């Protein structure tokens, strides 16, 4: 059984819950505005924690 598990870039699309350290699910994306980076909101399915972070480290198209 072949599983593509070499997706280390998932760290760009997911976050860990600050409370329970579980992977958080991307629930919302705020498009980038002038002078502001794109925002991604994540929600923890385990405890309901929601966090929003700017997307700055993702690969940029060249
Ligand atoms: Zn949590």
pLDDT digits (tens, 9 = 90+) for 3-62: 555 444 444 556 899 999 999 999 999 999 888 899 999 999 999 999 998 887 555 566
Report the distance separating Cα 18 and Cα 62, nearest Å: 33
Tell me, in angstroms, the distance from the centre of ligand 1 to residue 44's CA: 5
Instruction: Look over the chain and give the mean of its residue pLDDT values, rounded to a whole number.
Output: 80
Which chain residues have CB less than 5 Å from ligand 1, an ion?
Answer: 17, 19-20, 44, 46-47, 49
Give dist(CA 40, CA 36) in Å, integer: 12
**Complete domains list, the chain, with CATH:** 10-55 (2.20.25)
- How remote is the C-alpha of 37 from its chain's centroid? 13
Q: Which residue has the tokens 């993702």?
A: 58
Question: Which residue(s) pair with 31 in the sheet?
Answer: none
């Amino acid at each position: 059984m072949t599983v593509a598990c070499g997706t280390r870039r998932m760290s760009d699309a997911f976050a860990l819950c600050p409370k329970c350290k579980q992977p958080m699910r991307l629930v919302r994306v705020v498009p980038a505005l002038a002078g502001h980076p794109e925002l991604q909101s994540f929600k923890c399915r385990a405890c309901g924690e929601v966090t929003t972070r700017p997307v700055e480290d993702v690969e940029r198209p060249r």
